[in-house]
Amino acid sequence: MGSYMGYIIITGLFSLVGMFLSNRLKAKFKHYSQVPMSSGRSGREIAQAMLDYYGIHDVKIEEGQGFLSDHYNPLTKTVKLSPNVYRDRSVAAAAVAAHECGHAVQHANAYVWLKLRSAIVPVVNLAAKAQQFLLLFALGAFGVNGGSTMMLITMVTFGVTALFSLITLPVEFDASRRALAWLEESSAAKGAEYAGAKDALWWAAMTYVSAALSALVMFLYFLLRYQAMSRR
């Protein structure tokens, strides 16, 4: 039962940190959504301009669903922009649209970290699905003692998700770097607009940092639990 409580405490602490960063990001996005771009271009137009700038003509830009659901799909070569980003003509929309196109530029340039992240996605999805079942046995939450073998399997699945989270960091930071470089070089964002885009993307990056730290701590937790059980 002690291991179960330890797990709850760790996940609880990182959940609070994650909630704070998520709320902060939403507040920043709301603020910069009210700051119009002097160019008057929408998020979709910003995305198209960035793709054209880098000579990328095989990537589609589509309107997605959900708040801050923006992403780039390397399998379909599609930039999906949430309705607010796709339609708005704000600093927030420009920052997010440029960031997602940063991933498209990474793909076009065969950026090694993006290739690695994409390659391990199937394994990560499998590990994430297995974790919810493995935890019941590894932690003995319902009075079941799964033993060191079950703890080992659980540790490996958390190791996979931690690795994915760590690989995601250079991918996201580099996409923001590319986005900001283009916004500046093309004069798509100037002065306060550029500063606002940089601020918004920094807070977005912090949510990935928090997720990576959380995943790493959970992996180390199960690693220590496994080592303790193996010495018995």
Residues tagged active-site: 100
To which residue do tokens 């960091």 refer?
169
Going 105 to 109 to 114 to 115, the CA torsion angle's sign is positive
Name which of 198, 191, 193 is nearest 173 in CA terms.
Answer: 198
Phi (first) and psi of residue 65, to 5 degrees: -130, 150
CA distance 29 to 48: 21
Alpha helix ranges (H) inside the chain: 2-33, 43-53, 83-87, 91-108, 112-138, 147-185, 192-230
End-to-end CA distance of the chain: 17
Q: Residue 78: beta bridge partners?
A: 60, 73
**Phi, then psi, of 73 in degrees rounded to 5:** -105, 105
Q: How many beta carbons lie within 10 A of that of residue 14, not counting itself?
A: 17
